[in-house]
Amino acid sequence: MADFLPLAILVFVSLMAASATANYGYTTPSPSPPPPPPQYTPPAQSDKLLVKVEGMVYCQSCAQRNTHRLEGAKPLPKAEVSVICHDAKNRAIVRCRRAVADDNGYFHAELDETNVSDFYMGDPRKACYVRLRASPDFECNNPTNINYSSIEGALLRDEGKRWADHDYYNIMYATGPLAFRPAICPPKH
């Protein structure tokens, strides 16, 4: 009997493995791939586009200085930003726009009506960016590079805000939060 015990265990283990891999005719559905990001498609009737950009400007707290964090930041009213776009030949378009933040730090810039083909690579998200210009608060006027707002410029993201008007297509892009930091902060202990 002892001679057959290892053989019985081997048969039992192989039967268990076979039943674990058998699916008995059932199949598990594979997960569907995530949806692709929204793409800009110009309206069929017109190639004209009216690009708008929105975002927020903050004053970074001294506790977060030298970081890219905005905990404790406060909206910065009347802060100025620029929206700069590149044309089809990757040259800066002269029609850059200056926008001023409202009392809540929110800014909204509207570019001139243009053709989609006038933008670099035919896509305003790849052609335009936002940079900090000026802060009205002399105690919080050093630009940070949060979201690359002072070196390369903050990129635009498509949040699906678009609508057709009479002769052109409106599209609203957003940018991540931008921030200035205080010129003088008390030393950390």
Domains detected in the chain: 48-181 (2.60.40)
- Phi, psi for 127 (deg, rounded to 5): -100, -20
> Could you give the CA distance from residue 160 to residue 77 in angstroms, rounded to a whole number?
27
- At 170 the pLDDT is 83
Does residue 25 contact residue 88 with C-beta atoms inside 8 Å? no
pLDDT given for residue 43 in this prediction: 47
Whether the CB-CB separation of 79 and 100 falls below 8 Å is answered with yes
Close Cβ partners of 95 (under 8 Å, ≥ 6 residues apart): 85, 111, 112, 114
pLDDT per residue over 165-183, tens digit each?
A: 777 778 899 999 999 999 8
What φ, ψ does residue 89 adopt, rounded to 5°? Answer: -100, 15
If phi > 0 it is left, if psi is from -120 to 50 it is alpha, else beta; for residue 183 that is alpha
How far apart, in Å, are the Cα atoms of 176 and each of 30, 55, 66, 156, 179? 35, 7, 18, 8, 10
* Structure confidence at residue 46 (pLDDT): 53
pLDDT per position as a tens digit, 92-136: 774 568 899 999 999 999 887 777 777 777 788 888 889 999 999
pLDDT digits (tens, 9 = 90+) for 6-51: 555 555 555 555 554 444 454 545 566 666 655 545 444 457 788 8
